[in-house]
Structure 1
């Protein structure tokens, strides 16, 4: 992106927000539209609606909650990257930054920001991304570099990082107490496919039974609650 084009987009920025919390959407709208030239060109609580509505809204950037009632922000990021390859994505989250941020970046997002950050950091993150740079918190950037520099070990966190995004979605839903049929409904896949993912999870995590998987997932989610 040229400098002239960067400044043009920064001066007149169209933002599309995907978040299933009305208060969050309202707060983002007021915050972002308080900046001269910036406007929300669209907003939705739904991953499915985002896929159909975002391309028509012609956004300069997408701001997406990582977990939605009808989908997964990571999967949505992949889908929107395919539909709108030139439009950058900023992921917002109330969940463990150290665990989710790498997944978000691998899925194609250009930035990751905790919802607990100061409001001015959201504006700063969007500006940085529109300049063609990645955005993560300074602390997270150091954490990623530290992890990349150390030898591979078999800790739980590292084992979970090796799961595919869909495997992780199934693991998370198991940990939240959902049964196979409900997981299938939430992810819009078959019961048989969920059972296949369960087998993959047991194999990758070195677990012997479905009960072990349930215990492991529940314990993980309890230890990594919303901030």
Structure 2
């Protein structure tokens, strides 16, 4: 037990109750670790984190309302002392680098073992980065301006475009996406056109197929 772990307080932000409860049980099983708050949406997470000012917040990238990357940005603009560990059901190629740029110190896939979760938490509590070797290499290459490193097509998308791309992959219609994100259908249609251009597809059907397969391959 290191000094940075002593009496560490954590907030869990995930829109799946079973996942929150499971994470809470695993964290509470460790000596001197406490879960001081839980939330399901971006706004709830922001309020709880600001109120509790935990040592660490575990934040799911994909939330029922809002998203974890924007939550990390919002909190860090108010309180830069909170450390963040991003968690996700998606492979790191889709969101990890953006989570790190937003202010997370680590990124962990939800399918990892309990031992890997504890390792990630301990690493981030110490103020150190928890990254896979692949992501470390990509970040270093990016920092050095190495354009020879192959870029995933989705890396050309903005955070909002990635969010809409994910929802298209989930099978949501333009109207459903607009309602979920509190945007107009015109705005969603505009984002769809941007997605088609950036991903080099011609039709809405092609975009939907690409989004669906991306979600399957990154699940």
TM-score band w.r.t. shorter chain: 0.7 to 0.9
Deviation at 1:60, TM superposition (A): 0.8
C-alpha separation in 2, matches of 1:127 and 1:111: 11
For 1:110 and 1:165, the matched residues in 2 are separated by 18
Structure 1 residue 38: deviation in Å? 1.4
Match of 1:126 in 2: 121
CA separation of 1:37 and 1:158: change in aligned 2, threshold 3 A = same
Q: Report the alpha carbon displacement of residue 112 of structure 1 after superposing the two structures with TM.
A: 0.3
> Is residue 190 of structure 1 aligned with residue 184 of structure 2?
yes
2:94 is aligned to: 99
Residue 23 of structure 1 deviates from its aligned partner by 2.2
CA distance in 1, matches of 2:32, 2:215: 41
Counterpart of 2:198 in structure 1 is: 204
Structure 1 CA distance for aligned equivalents of residues 134 and 199 of structure 2 = 28
Q: What is the Cα deviation at residue 190 of structure 1?
A: 1.7
Normalization by structure 2: what TM-score? 0.87
CA contact (8 A) 2:12 2:38 kept: yes
Deviates most, 53-62 or 124-133: 124-133
Pair 1:223-2:217 in alignment = yes
Match of 2:132 in 1: 137
User: How far apart are the structure 2 equivalents of 1:31 and 1:223?
Assistant: 28
* CA–CA separation in structure 1 for the residues paired with 2:216 and 2:28: 37
Q: Find the counterpart in structure 2 of residue 22 from structure 1.
A: 17
CA deviations over 1:111-170 (Å, ceiling 9, x no partner): 0011222212222212211222111134543565578856155xxx62210110001111
Give CA deviations for 1:185-224 in whole Å, capped at 9, x if unaligned: 1112221211111121122122223233223222322333
Match of 2:173 among 157, 179, 200: 179
Please say if residues 9 and 60 of structure 1, whose CA atoms lie closer than 8 Å, have aligned partners that are also in contact.
no
Whether the aligned pair in 2 keeps the contact of 1:19 and 1:25 (CA below 8 Å) is yes
User: Counterparts in 2 of 1:74-89, with a 5 A limit?
Assistant: 74-89=69-84
Among candidates 65, 79, 104, match of residue 70 of structure 1? 65
In 2: Cα distance, 1:105 partner to 1:119 partner:
22
C-alpha separation between the residues in 1 aligned to 2:33 and 2:63? Answer: 25
> Which residue does the alignment assign to 2:148?
151
Of the structure 1 ranges 18-27 and 108-117, higher mean CA displacement relative to structure 2 is found in 18-27
**Runs of 4+ residues deviating >4 angstroms:** 142-150
* Number of residue pairs aligned between Structure 1 and Structure 2: 217
| TM-score normalised by length of structure 1 | 0.85
With over 3 angstroms needed to count, the CA separation of the structure-2 counterparts of 1:36 and 1:222, relative to structure 1, is: closer
What is the distance in 1 between the residues matched to 2:140 and 2:4? 31
Deviation string, structure 1 residues 159-183 (Cα, Å, up to 9, x no partner): 2101100011111111211111111
